[in-house]
A = this chain, B = another copy of it.
Amino acid sequence: MSKDPAALDDADYAALADFRATIRIFLAFSEGEAAKAGLSPRQHQALLAIRGVPRGEATVGYLAQRLILRPHTVSELAKRLSALGLLAGEAPQGDRRKLVLHLTPKAENLLRALSAAHQQEIRRIKPLLSDLLDRFG
């Protein structure tokens, strides 16, 4: 019998494990930085997603797509962030069912420091990640 061309060998598994571990390293770094700022990882990602898009476009539904969460989960996330004084929301002109979220100045400041640190970390792991990707043909 001939070898299955799609069969994975030890090197394939090692590459997958290394890829996953590298992502985990980045996420653990991010977790730590966010925690220093008093944020959960999701809260941090939510703030970043809002900052990364033009003002007025960050609705609950948009965030749900962007974070790959259920809309009602984002609703709770936004409530917690609002309670922390990091988010404000208002209904846009056209559709009063929607809620457009925007960062408070406090959130802008938090995110500025967090993002600088993350940018550095991504630059640090960039060669690692590139090499890793090359192991996937």
**Which residues from chain A sit less than 8 Å from chain B, CB to CB?**
6, 8, 12-14, 16-21, 23-28, 45, 48-49, 51-53, 66-68, 111-112, 115-116, 118-119, 122-123, 126, 129-130, 133, 136-137
Known: A18-B52, A21-B49, A45-B20. A115 touches B13 (CB 8 A): yes
C-alpha gap A68/B126 in the complex (Å) = 20
C-alpha gap A20/B18 in the complex (Å) = 19
Number of chain copies forming the complex: 2
A52 contacts B14, C-beta separation under 8 Å? yes
A8 contacts B119, C-beta separation under 8 Å? yes
B123 contacts A13, C-beta separation under 8 Å? no
Residues of chain B within 8 A (CB-CB) of A137 are 123
Known: A28-B68, A67-B24, A123-B136. A48 touches B17 (CB 8 A): yes
C-alpha gap A6/B119 in the complex (Å) = 10
A126 and chain B: residue at smallest CB distance: B133
A51 and chain B: residue at smallest CB distance: B13
- Beyond the given A18-B52, A25-B68, could you list 6 further A-B residue pairs with CB under 8 A, ordered by the A residue number? A17-B49, A17-B66, A20-B49, A122-B133, A129-B133, A130-B133
